Each structure stands twice: as structure tokens, then as C-alpha cells.
């Protein structure tokens, strides 16, 4: 599985597929000792593959933030926490982890006690939830927030599939959400964006939704690295998903290494594909949800607002604003952290 000709062929195939089908859519006080109720991820696919690989030597980070693990209905949920002020929970998308928020955490933590959560079965959260539909995942996040973080009301910031979970969180527990920030994720629904149409927007949505095929093709760490690197590049600002010709990823090699560390684990990789396979159920659940009354803002990639807002606005009674983040593709918090922080804090601290 690791011969050079095979890797090159697969990378070329991914690039060719993208060129044919790419679409335009796509609190605990600082210093408190954390007591974990579940074992953190340990050695995995290498001697240093641990939950704190990207942070253990970062003195400033460790001064401000801590890792924690909590057992939620048989799933060990990992989060990074720090700061002071009202609670804020951040939910990542695919193919990422809590680390997607690394660049915005320090600024947010000056105003909020932040919790950057790895979704159930992803990142360094271990175990398998009962489903990967976003309504089910939202119940795990809510149990974490209520029963372990002891937060009655939060600001919720969510990106990509995390925003699918975020919408369902706000729909099921509206009185528990003070403010909601929905980032760059069209919502599937029967009325506005059926799942079959959703999968047709981009080659990767159709590919990732297939049963077993993605795991068979992207089936070792070298394949995963090629796939992630191609995908990060395509949906970045100036990438092929936005009609550009970008050829380099927006992330450093170290950041890609951190995402690779988790997605090279077969169970995490497969769980990520399950997020796509559950879009049909998400369509049903989103259509059944009453329009949520939680004050919300929508942030999208530059050039994506006109495609995303029509799928989101009808499901939100209190959409206060909808903004494109300048010079950012899909990876809003990493491509323009300053603009994201400005929008989020202006909304959550008003």
C-alpha cells in the first residue's frame, strides 16, 4: 500500500476528480486543575502520536490552555479549555479537529472561557457514538456541556459539519444557547437543499458518501496525507473550488501533520466519512426542526454567501447578519483569524 507509483497515481486521480467536479459550495477558570474521567488517547501510529503532540512544547499555549477528557455515553470526549468569562464552545468540521481553532483561541479566551471540542469519534475523542447524524452528535455535545463542563448557557461557534451539529444543538436546546455563530456550512433540508443535491456540489461530497470505497482507497497514512493536502488546497482561498488555480495548501506542514495524526487512524478516518453518509438523515432532521430563535450570525468564505445563506436563513428566525470573511476560503478561522475573531466577539460580547 505504500509504493511510490501507487501513491502518485492516487494523488493524480484525486486532482483529476477535483478538476471535473469541484463546486463553489461547499466555564473552568484559568489555572483550575483538570481531572479527566476518561483516558486520553495514547500511542497510536508512532512513538509520539499523542493528543498533545502539537502543544506539549508550546509554553505560552500551556500557560493559557489545558486538555481534558470526559466520558459521555461511552465516548471519551476531548477538549481544549482556557480563558475567563462566559462559556463558549467551538465545534470543528472535516477533515479537522479542535486544532482548527488554534489561531483564534487566545483572543477569544480574553473574553470567554473557551472549550474547543473534538466531535465524538473524531480528533482525540475516542469511542463510537450511536450515530453520525448531526442531531445525535448534538446530544453528545450537550451532555458534555451540561453534565461535565457545568455550563447552563453558552455561546456556540461552529464550522462546516460542526455547524451541522451546532444548528441541531440550537434547535434542540435553544434556551441553552446565548449566541450562535454558523460558519461556512449550507444546511441540507428537504425544502431548500436535499441531500442528493448537496452531494452533487463537489466531487469530495459524493466520494466521501460512498459506503466503504473511501476507506479502501485512502487506506494508509501516505494516502491520507495526499488526500488531506489536496483537499485543503482546493477549498482554500484561490483554490479550484472557488475557480482559482492555487497549488499550495493554506496550512503549514506542521498543521497538516497534526490533522494527519488523527485522521491516519482508521476509525477516525471512517468516522469522518460517516459525517457525509448521514446527510440524508440530516436533511430529514433539519426539515423537522422548528426555525430556531437563538440570535445567530452566518460567516462564509469569500464568494460563498449567495450559495449558503438561502439554505440557512429559512431555518433561523433570528439571523442577525450574514458576512463573507475577506481573503478566506473554506478555512475561515485559519485563513483570516483576525476577521473571524472580530466578528465573533462583536456578536457574543454585545
Per residue in 170-191, pLDDT (tens digit) is 999 999 999 999 999 999 999 9
| pLDDT top residue among 106 and 46 | 106
* 294 pLDDT above the threshold of 80: yes
* 31 pLDDT above the threshold of 70: no
* 101 pLDDT above the threshold of 90: yes
| Interatomic CA distance for residues 346 and 350, integer angstroms | 6
Look at residue 202 in the predicted model and tell me its pLDDT.
86
| Interatomic CA distance for residues 331 and 256, integer angstroms | 13
| Interatomic CA distance for residues 310 and 170, integer angstroms | 19
* 23 pLDDT above the threshold of 70: no
Per residue in 108-118, pLDDT (tens digit) is 999 999 999 99
* 24 pLDDT above the threshold of 70: no
> Of 73-87, 123-137, 193-207, 329-343, which range is least confident?
193-207
Q: Is the peptide bond before 216 cis (omega within 30 degrees of 0)?
A: no
Look at residue 48 in the predicted model and tell me its pLDDT.
52
| pLDDT top residue among 42 and 273 | 273
Reading phi first (left if > 0) and then psi (alpha if -120 to 50, else beta), residue 83 is in left
Bridge partner list, 193: 189
* 7 pLDDT above the threshold of 90: no
In 3-state terms, the chain is what percent helix, strand and coil (to 5)? 45, 15, 40
Mean pLDDT of 51-59: 95
Bridge partner list, 82: 65, 114
| Interatomic CA distance for residues 17 and 285, integer angstroms | 31
177-183, strands of its sheet edge to edge: 65-72, 75-83, 113-117, 87-91, 154-159, 177-183, 296-301, 319-325
Would you place residue 2 in the very low, low, confident or very high pLDDT band (cuts 50, 70, 90)?
A: very low
Would you place residue 40 in the very low, low, confident or very high pLDDT band (cuts 50, 70, 90)?
A: low
| pLDDT top residue among 290 and 278 | 278
End-to-end CA distance of the chain: 53
| Interatomic CA distance for residues 302 and 279, integer angstroms | 24
| pLDDT top residue among 143 and 5 | 143
* 56 pLDDT above the threshold of 80: yes
Look at residue 266 in the predicted model and tell me its pLDDT.
95
217 burial type by CB count under 10 A (0-12 exposed, 13-18 middle, 19+ buried): middle
Question: For the chain, where are the E strands, in sequence order?
Answer: 65-72, 75-83, 87-91, 113-117, 154-159, 177-183, 296-301, 319-325
Per residue in 234-279, pLDDT (tens digit) is 999 999 999 999 999 999 999 999 999 999 999 999 999 999 999 9
Cβ-contact 215, 269 below 8 angstroms: yes
| Interatomic CA distance for residues 79 and 88, integer angstroms | 12
**Count of Cβ atoms closer than 10 Å to residue 320 Cβ:** 13
How much of the chain, in percent, has pLDDT values that exceed 70?
86
Q: Which domains does the chain have, with CATH numbers?
A: 59-349 (3.40.50.1820)
User: Cell triple for residue 101?
Assistant: 481553532
Per residue in 122-171, pLDDT (tens digit) is 999 999 999 999 999 999 999 999 999 999 999 999 999 999 999 999 99
* 327 pLDDT above the threshold of 80: yes
Q: What is the mean pLDDT of the chain?
A: 89
Amino acid at each position: 500500500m505504500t509504493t511510490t507509483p501507487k501513491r502518485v497515481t492516487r494523488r493524480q486521480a484525486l486532482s483529476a476528480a477535483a478538476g471535473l467536479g469541484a463546486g463553489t459550495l461547499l466555564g473552568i477558570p484559568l489555572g483550575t486543575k483538570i481531572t479527566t474521567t476518561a483516558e486520553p488517547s495514547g500511542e497510536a501510529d508512532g512513538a509520539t502520536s499523542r493528543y498533545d503532540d502539537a502543544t506539549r512544547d508550546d509554553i505560552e499555549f500551556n500557560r493559557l490552555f489545558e486538555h481534558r477528557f470526559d466520558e459521555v455515553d461511552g465516548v471519551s470526549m476531548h477538549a481544549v479549555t482556557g480563558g475567563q468569562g462566559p462559556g463558549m464552545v467551538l465545534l470543528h468540521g472535516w477533515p479537522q479537529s479542535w486544532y482548527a481553532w488554534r489561531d483564534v483561541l487566545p483572543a477569544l479566551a480574553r473574553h470567554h472561557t473557551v472549550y474547543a471540542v473534538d466531535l465524538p469519534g473524531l480528533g482525540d475523542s475516542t469511542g463510537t457514538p450511536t450515530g453520525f447524524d448531526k442531531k445525535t452528535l448534538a446530544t453528545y455535545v450537550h451532555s458534555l456541556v451540561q453534565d461535565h463542563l457545568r455550563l447552563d448557557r453558552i455561546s456556540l461557534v461552529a464550522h462546516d459539519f460542526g455547524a451541522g451539529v451546532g444548528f441541531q444543538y440550537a434547535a434542540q436546546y435553544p434556551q441553552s444557547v446565548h449566541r450562535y455563530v454558523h460558519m461556512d456550512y449550507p444546511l441540507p433540508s428537504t425544502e431548500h437543499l436535499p441531500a442528493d443535491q448537496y452531494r452533487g456540489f463537489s466531487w469530495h461530497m459524493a466520494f466521501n458518501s460512498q459506503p466503504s470505497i473511501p476507506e479502501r482507497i485512502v487506506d494508509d497514512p501516505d494516502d491520507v496525507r495526499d488526500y488531506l493536502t489536496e483537499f485543503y488546497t482546493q477549498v482554500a482561498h484561490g483554490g479550484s473550488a472557488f475557480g482559482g488555480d492555487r497549488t499550495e495548501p493554506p496550512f503549514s506542514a506542521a498543521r497538516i501533520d497534526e490533522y494527519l495524526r488523527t485522521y491516519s487512524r482508521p476509525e477516525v478516518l471512517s468516522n469522518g466519512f460517516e459525517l457525509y453518509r448521514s446527510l440524508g438523515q440530516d436533511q430529514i432532521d433539519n426539515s423537522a426542526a422548528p426555525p430556531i430563535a437563538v440570535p445567530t450570525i452566518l460567516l462564509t468564505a469569500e464568494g460563498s454567501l449567495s450559495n449558503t445563506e438561502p439554505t440557512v436563513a429559512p431555518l433561523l428566525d433570528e439571523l442577525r447578519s450574514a458576512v463573507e470573511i475577506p481573503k478566506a476560503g473554506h478555512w475561515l478561522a485559519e485563513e483570516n483569524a483576525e476577521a473571524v475573531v472580530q466578528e465573533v466577539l462583536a456578536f457574543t460580547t454585545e
